[in-house]
Amino acid sequence: MVHLGDIVRAVREAYLAQRATTPFQRKALRSIGRCRTEEMGSVGTRCERCRRKHLLFRSCQNRHCPRCQAAAREAWLQARERELLPVPYFHVVFTVPEILNPIALYCPEVFYAALLSAAGNALLDVGMSKMQARLGVLTILHTWGQNLMLHPHAHCVVPGGGFSPDGKRWIGVRKARYLLPVNVLRARFRTLLCQALRKAAESGDLARLPADVLPHVTIEGAAAQRWVVYAKPPFGGPRQVLEYLSRYTHRVAISNRRIVSFTGGKVTFVWRDYRDGNRMKVSTIEAMEFVRRFLLHVLPDRFVRIRYFGFLTNARRGRNVEWARQLIGHAEPDIVRERLKFRVLCPECMAIVYGRNPDQSRDPHTDRPPPLIEDAA
């Protein structure tokens, strides 16, 4: 199986010599190239079946590495499981016109923060105007399309209801398969994002744009276009919500399972074409181009790509969820997931060992425990 790290190690030096990169892109390339190699150090472990000792190389833990997301995803999901409410959950996707892509490319921290804020607040504003309820929203940033081209969009998960303005009543959705009017959401989202980008341009936060990309012309051109907001049918229950979140929250631009081959300096990968009836397609491109596309989706350091709004905001989420359960009449959270078991393959007997071996030793050069994690989806 070909890993992204194999491709990065093969072309990293040539790419850095020929292409301009940001510090966080270089950091991602360095980490992914070192992941599970001798450069990261190793830890001794013993197979539970054949009892032979062998070494496991450490993982890089970079959030853009497709091999290093399972542990972070599992910890996040365990925390979210206790916050689920016994109501239907809705999935809303906010997409921006392609004309805004240069702003996302050259000013990612400004653009993506504005995108998530506009999506979350559009749902809150329309929820208050149409339902007279203060909703809760979880937003997740994705920047890629299946073919690795730049395609910024926000996935939002919204509980089907919210608090009354005085906070004393729970107001549920009126129809089981309907949350809010999409046309109103689309207009409000466009207004909020364009306002934020205009403000950023006036304050000089878009100064990194090339001279041929005029901020106000680009923003007004986007405002004149038709924007896309898609509301999917509600999830069936808490289990389905968590299954969805497990696929979307800690995703990276491409998983190793989608990489078919890497030969002759070219990478072949599979992708789903949503514009052609969800057909699976196969593309082969130069490795340098493959790395360029991948780096389009490396976020600035410390940028938070999962954000909360409304009654799910971080400061009061625990208290609000507890109060919502009391108003709904379902006080205790439902524990619906089985805990993820991390798998280790013994190189001697090829047995799959679950969990960590209690008698494994640590690397003498570091005190970090070895991360035994699965490839992210």
- Evaluate if residue 48 carries a pLDDT over 50: yes
Encode burial over 300-321: b for 16+ CB neighbours within 10 A, e otherwise: eeeeebbbbbbbbeeeebeebb
pLDDT at position 373 is: 39
- H/E stretch holding 259 reads strand 259-263
pLDDT at position 369 is: 39
Of 222-226, 230-234, 266-270, the poorest mean pLDDT is in 230-234
pLDDT at position 50 is: 80
pLDDT at position 311 is: 97
Q: Stretch 194-206: mean pLDDT, rounded?
A: 97
Structure tokens at 322: 């507890």
- Evaluate if residue 39 carries a pLDDT over 90: no
pLDDT at position 361 is: 36
Share of the chain above pLDDT 70, in %: 87
Establish how many alpha carbons lie within 13 A of residue 26's alpha carbon, considering only the half-sphere containing its beta carbon. Answer: 9
- Evaluate if residue 55 carries a pLDDT over 50: yes
Is the separation of the CB atoms in 305 and 112 below 8 Å? yes
Q: How confident is the model at residue 248 (pLDDT cuts 50, 70, 90)?
A: confident
Q: Which residues are within 8 A (CB) of 28 and not within 5 positions of it... i.e. 6 or more apart? A: 62, 64, 65, 295, 298
pLDDT at position 338 is: 58
Q: Stretch 282-288: mean pLDDT, rounded?
A: 96
Q: How confident is the model at residue 376 (pLDDT cuts 50, 70, 90)?
A: very low
- H/E stretch holding 199 reads helix 182-202
Q: How far apart are CA 26 and CA 44, in angstroms?
A: 30
Higher per-residue pLDDT: 275 or 221: 221
- Evaluate if residue 370 carries a pLDDT over 50: no
pLDDT at position 354 is: 47
* Furthest-apart CA atoms within the chain: distance in Å: 67
At 300-315, the pLDDT tens digits run 999 999 999 999 999 8
Pairing of strands 352-354, 259-263: unpaired
Higher per-residue pLDDT: 369 or 253: 253
At 108-135, the pLDDT tens digits run 999 999 999 999 999 999 999 999 999 9
Structure tokens at 353: 């060992």
- H/E stretch holding 46 reads strand 42-46
Is the separation of the CB atoms in 87 and 161 below 8 Å? yes
Mean pLDDT value across the chain: 86
How far is residue 147 from each of residues 272, 278, 361, measured CA to CA in Å? Answer: 8, 13, 42
Q: How far apart are CA 297 and CA 148, in angstroms?
A: 8
Of 33-47, 95-109, 142-156, 342-356, the poorest mean pLDDT is in 342-356
